[in-house]
């Protein structure tokens, strides 16, 4: 992370913002999958645009909920390695978080604009601690929310 104030510090985790995600997600789905994607294993090609948007919104809302859960798990573990910039998962409209059916988070491990944190980030042992904290958070999340098998596509 980076900020104009050099004393900004701490780790942050972001998930997609629900308000903006739904319309962004629907547009991206239409563009990338040419209006014929699989949502929860169901082929949407034969449905009208309103139905596609509704299914997309429902899928995105569920995914954001799981992303927040994943983010909280990772944030908890990061807090044992670094101070937390905020004690909760923040939400924003980052393009990298627009996965429709996979929990997605953005992890900011520290502020490179803070000379102390920048120095720690250059240390391999510290990098390993951060990576292990992220891994432990993911593992804890997966233990509580194991992946389900993908359903078979229905035409």
Which pLDDT tens digit goes with each residue over 18-75?
Answer: 665 333 433 333 344 333 344 444 455 556 677 766 666 666 677 888 999 999 999 9
Token pair of 86 as six digits? 């905020």
Q: What is the mean pLDDT of residues 112-139?
A: 96
DSSP-based three-state secondary structure for 107: strand
Higher pLDDT, 86 or 43: 86
For the segment 146-152, the average pLDDT, to the nearest whole number, is 68
Burial (Cβ within 10 Å: 0-12, 13-18, ≥19) of residue 40: middle
DSSP 20: H
Mean pLDDT for 130-136 is: 98
13 with 107: CB under 8 angstroms? yes
Helix axes 124-144, 49-78, angle to 10 degrees: 130
Given this model, what pLDDT does residue 47 score?
60
In the predicted structure, residue 147 carries a pLDDT above the cut 90: no
42 φ, ψ to 5°? -110, 125
Q: In this model, does residue 79 exceed pLDDT 90?
A: yes
CA within 13 Å, CB half, 83: 9
Rg for the chain, CA atoms, rounded: 18
pLDDT the model gives residue 24 = 41
pTM, full prediction: 0.73
Residue 113 φ then ψ, to 5° = -80, -10
Percent of the chain at pLDDT above 70? 69
Sort residue 104 into left (φ over 0), alpha (ψ -120 to 50) or beta. Answer: beta
**Cα 60 to Cα 101: distance, rounded to the nearest angstrom:** 7
pLDDT value at position 93?
Answer: 80
pLDDT reported for residue 12: 92
Tally of CB atoms within 10 A around 25: 22
Q: Phi/psi of residue 5, each to 5°? A: -80, 125
Average pLDDT, the chain: 78
């Amino acid at each position: 992370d980076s900020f104009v104030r050099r004393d900004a510090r701490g780790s942050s985790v972001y998930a997609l913002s629900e308000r903006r995600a739904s319309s962004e997600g629907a547009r991206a789905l239409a563009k990338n999958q040419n209006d014929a994607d699989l949502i929860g294993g169901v082929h949407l090609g034969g449905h009208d645009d309103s139905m596609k948007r509704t299914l997309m919104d429902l899928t995105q809302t569920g995914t954001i909920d799981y992303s927040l859960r994943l983010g909280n798990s990772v944030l908890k573990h990061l807090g044992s390695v670094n101070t937390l910039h905020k004690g909760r998962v923040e939400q924003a409209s980052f393009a990298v978080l627009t996965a429709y059916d996979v929990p997605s988070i953005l992890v900011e491990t520290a502020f490179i604009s803070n000379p102390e944190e920048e120095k720690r980030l250059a240390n391999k042992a510290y990098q390993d601690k951060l990576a292990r904290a992220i891994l432990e958070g993911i593992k804890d999340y997966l233990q509580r929310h194991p992946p389900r098998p993908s359903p078979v596509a229905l035409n």
